[in-house]
Structure 1
Amino acid sequence: MYNSESPLAQTKVRVGLVGTGNAAKLRAEALLQDPRSHLVAVAGYKPEKTATFAQDYQAEAVDAWQQLVERKDVDLVVISTVNRDHSAIAHAALSQGKHVVVEYPLALDVVEGKELLALAKAQNKLLHVEHIELLGGLHQALKQNLAKVGEIFYVRYSTITPQSPAPRKWTYNHELFGFPLMGALSRLHRLTDLFGTVFTANCHQRYWAIEPEYYQTSFCITQLCFDSGLLAQVVYGKGETLWQSERKFEVHGENGGLIFDGDTGFFIHEGQTTPIEVGTRRGLFAKDTSMVLDHILDGSALYVTPEESLYTLKVAEAAKRAAESGLTIFMKDI
């Protein structure tokens, strides 16, 4: 780990932000609210939108991220833009001696992800992949109550978002978003954080599309067998030909079950249902940002490592290969 006693530890962290979407807005707000950081510059893809965004958050607008990562007055680059570009921006920023925070996924390719971890280590710089799902109320409630159900044999995690008409934006673009469970890596990362390493993956996916680049609906079902013997099913869908929204997490064990439906949780045991309190999802980007600044300035431990995020990316790669081949994929082959 880099030396937290460097001159940077005695001053503000100067930040360059790539992106102007919702995640970037939450990052900018968190950075402005924390006196230990100074948002220096913002880079986006649309000049007018970037200029307005930068003005709103008291920063300088930059024409392109390539210029931002080269600035001498930037210590930390925060990447909050389309998934396709995460790896290239992170590589350039690390090569320029910057700390890097990137919203998941780290990359859409496992090899690129490995290279980024090696580069961060060689440069002695922070590489942090945001996984705020681990900080949220649902995940914390799961961790606190898992022991109640005894030995766990089945988990089902389903997030379905009907959207009609589907927006013609990057989250519905094959190249910009990536394979569904890479682009939405948090669906798998919640499982690997709770249940450990995966043995095999099966996956089926389908798109509804009327043009090559953008689709109207994406639907993906993945089955994971963990080394422990636990079986898990992950359902992820979004778009026009889905009719009922769902955000549900089920844990089934020999002594009971945990059911989280939206923000409501229950423990079921011998015919009795006990409510479980689920904390808020608000303020998680601010919490993540504060922990990053703690880490850079004081060396405090972060809640997730890039190695853990890379492992989940490998699980997503296994699911992708399974969807493409129709075969069961063994994690040892990834």
Structure 2
Amino acid sequence: MPGTQTRTIQVGIVGTGYAATRRAEAIQADDRSQLITIAGHKPDQIAAFAQTHGVSAVKSWQKLVERSDVDLVVICSANYEHEKIVRTALEYGKHVVVEYPLALGAIEAFELINLAKRQNKLLHVEHIELLSGIHQSIKAALPEVGIPFHVRSASLMSQQPAPEKWSYHREQFGFPLVGAVSRIHRLTDLFGKVATVSCQTRFWDSSKASGYFSSCLCIAHLRFTSGLLAEVIYGKGEAIWQTDRTLTIQGDRGALTIDGEQGKLTTAAGDRSLEVGSRRGLFAKDTAQVLDYLTIGTPIYVSLDSSFYALQVADAARRSAEIGETIEVE
């Protein structure tokens, strides 16, 4: 299957938001692929998206995955829809690219991975944070801190007022660290396997609509098999008054700090700024690697195994928060 696609890859996109727009631009800019159709939920947004990109629109994602002329389905919709769209697309014999998370539970994700293997089709879960200049700079500088023993990763976003959209809905977004599993994946990519997870979470329910929340806060403590201890903090909404996007790594020979898009390495020699690059163009890089894989068989930057493992850790955090106990990660 890798590298076997010789004709132009016909693509359908599910979604009309930011990620879908970046995907459409990347697909249309590459001679190996052609965007032929899109699907979404809101008729006005679907019509505008289709007109902008010069493609046809279908009434539902079900109609899109049924089309015999679609080779690759790119899923850029709400988290809760990922599992069922991926499953149906694979059953119809399509290659699939999906924004993280693959599913809202580890068991469901495992089933989808096995289905992709049985169908001999590509299933790629986007994790563009691993392609970012920030992540690459961290990896390059990490040996200079020596043996890491403590990590604090904070992703707090103040939003006043909180929007009534799927990303602020308990069932549609999922457990916070599952819906935002990239916060876990960055750490497992850098530091390997996790032994135990302990997690607590809190929601502030919205007074405007049932099922929605105005704020959430999730704090997980991870103990890696290496002995490294990590604190992962994720929160958003009206109760969060100060936005915080920082990552601090303490090692026995130095420390590394990322604050937004600024990086600093501290060692016995003093402080040194890190070049972290730009966040721009990551969806294009991801799309190009998918097309490389399908046409010439080049491996994609992230494996299904590593993506699934990050989801397993996030799912362990969910179970820990539910039962109030430390969970061993299998």
Q: Output the CA distance in 2 between the equivalents of 1:289 and 1:3.
A: 15
Corresponding residue for residue 100 of structure 2: 104
1:322 aligns with 2:320: yes
1:300 aligns with 2:291: no
Q: Output the CA distance in 2 between the equivalents of 1:22 and 1:176.
A: 18
Corresponding residue for residue 80 of structure 1: 76
Corresponding residue for residue 3 of structure 2: 4
* Residue deviations 1:24-70 (CA, integer Å, cap 9, x gap): 11111111111211111101011222122111111111101111001
Contact conserved, 2:2 with 2:295, CA < 8 A, in 1? no
TM-score by length of 2: 0.98
Q: Which secondary structure does the structure 2 equivalent of 1:273 belong to?
A: strand
* Residue deviations 1:63-84 (CA, integer Å, cap 9, x gap): 0111100101100000000000
Q: Output the CA distance in 2 between the equivalents of 1:269 and 1:22.
A: 39
Q: Output the CA distance in 1 between the equivalents of 2:231 and 2:269.
A: 24
* Residue deviations 1:269-293 (CA, integer Å, cap 9, x gap): 1371111111111000000001100
Q: Output the CA distance in 2 between the equivalents of 1:112 and 1:57.
A: 33
Q: Alignment partner for residue 150 of structure 2, among 133, 151, 154?
A: 154
Deviates more, 1:130-139 or 1:206-215: 206-215
* Residue deviations 1:188-239 (CA, integer Å, cap 9, x gap): 0000111111100011111111243111111111110011111001011110
Q: Output the CA distance in 2 between the equivalents of 1:3 and 1:310.
A: 20
Q: Which secondary structure does the structure 2 equivalent of 1:303 belong to?
A: coil
- Which letter does structure 2 place at the counterpart of 1:43? A
Aligned counterparts, 1:59-138, within 5 A: 59-138=55-134
Deviates more, 1:120-129 or 1:26-35: 26-35
Q: Which secondary structure does the structure 1 equivalent of 2:66 belong to?
A: coil
Q: Alignment partner for residue 231 of structure 1, among 222, 229, 232?
A: 229
Give the superposed CA RMSD. 1.0
Deviates more, 1:317-326 or 1:262-271: 262-271
Q: Give the unaligned 5+ runs of structure 1.
A: none
Q: Alignment partner for residue 168 of structure 2, among 164, 167, 172?
A: 172
Corresponding residue for residue 309 of structure 1: 307
Corresponding residue for residue 46 of structure 1: 42
- Which letter does structure 1 place at the counterpart of 2:271? T
> Paired residues, what number?
328
* Residue deviations 1:92-140 (CA, integer Å, cap 9, x gap): 0011110000000000011111111111111110000000000001100
1:295 CA drift (Å): 0.5
Contact conserved, 2:161 with 2:238, CA < 8 A, in 1? yes
Q: Which secondary structure does the structure 2 equivalent of 1:282 belong to?
A: coil
Q: Output the CA distance in 2 between the equivalents of 1:178 and 1:20.
A: 21
Q: Give the unaligned 5+ runs of structure 2.
A: none
1:56 aligns with 2:52: yes
Q: Output the CA distance in 2 between the equivalents of 1:271 and 1:98.
A: 54
